[in-house]
Amino acid sequence: MAFLNDITLGQYYPGEAIFHRLDPRSKLVGTTLITIGLLISSKLSLILIQSAVILAAIWVSRIPFMVIARNLKWFGWLFLITVAIHVLEIAIVGSFPFLSFGIRSAGWLNGAIYSLRLGLLIVIASLLTLTTSPIELTDSLERIFSPLKRLRIPVHELALMMTLSLRFIPILIREAERIKNAQLSRGASLEGNILQRIHNIVPMILPLFISAIRRADDLAVAMTARNYIGGEGRTCYRRLAFGPGDFLLILLSFVWVFGTMLLR
């Protein structure tokens, strides 16, 4: 379970770079448009160009690349499965569900394209959470979906739940590490083949769930004790306002999408 320490998705990396100072709403809109551009890309050359742009964005954000790369390290199995699915040609033989396997020559290229695109999506999500604090995410989500309040949808509560879910990721990671060390001190072992490891990890899952429920209950009690009231009438410590950089980010994101559609 040492890999849990390498997961940075949901954590905030403080800084004074331009991406940290941008309005969170523009970053959310820009991330959505960039994601759309990645999903509609189908050529390796186009995805390589997009990769270069994203690497430049990481450099501008002044976040160490290894902080983001740690997220990709433990998705390697997913990339391998993606390549294997595209390389292997699976067919049903006859009227019975017998499978016939073959190898497609173009499967390697398609697998590489899909794996690279999946990795870029993970990088974009990491870049958003690393440059945006949880409070800013909550405020921006509430502002963006505020028109849904007319339909009596609890926008603030939903945005708060989504942000708290991201915020609890690093907390649960530390809790999982603490439970693992406690189990190891009692003689538990994480060695052996994959089945033995799964069998040994199962007793650690229940305490983790109990700890998560306890922490959620403590958070609810703390919010109640502080007379927290969300939704209508709630003010923000920091007023969100668009600047020139925010309009430029949204403009470049639209150029990204339309340029991808033209180059397809």
**Range with the poorest average pLDDT among 9-18, 112-121, 135-144, 244-253:** 9-18
Residue 91: is its pLDDT beyond 60? Answer: no
pLDDT at 43: 82
pTM above the 0.85 mark? no
pLDDT at 128: 87
Question: Residue 251's pLDDT band (boundaries 50, 70, 90)?
Answer: very high
**pLDDT, mean of residues 87-107:** 53
E strand or H helix that includes residue 126: helix 107-131
- What does the alpha-carbon distance between residue 142 and residue 127 come to, in Å, rounded to a whole number? 21
**pLDDT, mean of residues 75-94:** 67
E strand or H helix that includes residue 257: helix 244-263
What is the percentage of the chain residues whose pLDDT exceeds 90?
A: 6
- What does the alpha-carbon distance between residue 237 and residue 73 come to, in Å, rounded to a whole number? 37
Length of the chain equals 264
In this structure, what is the dihedral angle of CA atoms 13, 128, 8, 223, given to the nearest 10 degrees? 80
* pLDDT tens-digit map of 166-183: 777 777 878 888 887 877
pLDDT at 106: 63
Q: Which residue has the higher pLDDT, 144 or 253?
A: 253
Q: Which residue has the tokens 């040994």?
A: 200
* pLDDT tens-digit map of 19-53: 888 888 899 999 999 999 988 888 888 888 888 99
* pLDDT tens-digit map of 108-133: 777 788 888 888 888 898 888 888 88
36 three-class SS: helix
CA atoms in the 13 A half-sphere facing the CB of 77 = 1
90 three-class SS: strand
- What does the alpha-carbon distance between residue 159 and residue 234 come to, in Å, rounded to a whole number? 14
Q: What's the mean per-residue pLDDT of the chain?
A: 78
* pLDDT tens-digit map of 5-15: 555 555 778 88
Q: Which residue has the higher pLDDT, 189 or 261?
A: 261
Residue 192: is its pLDDT beyond 70? Answer: no
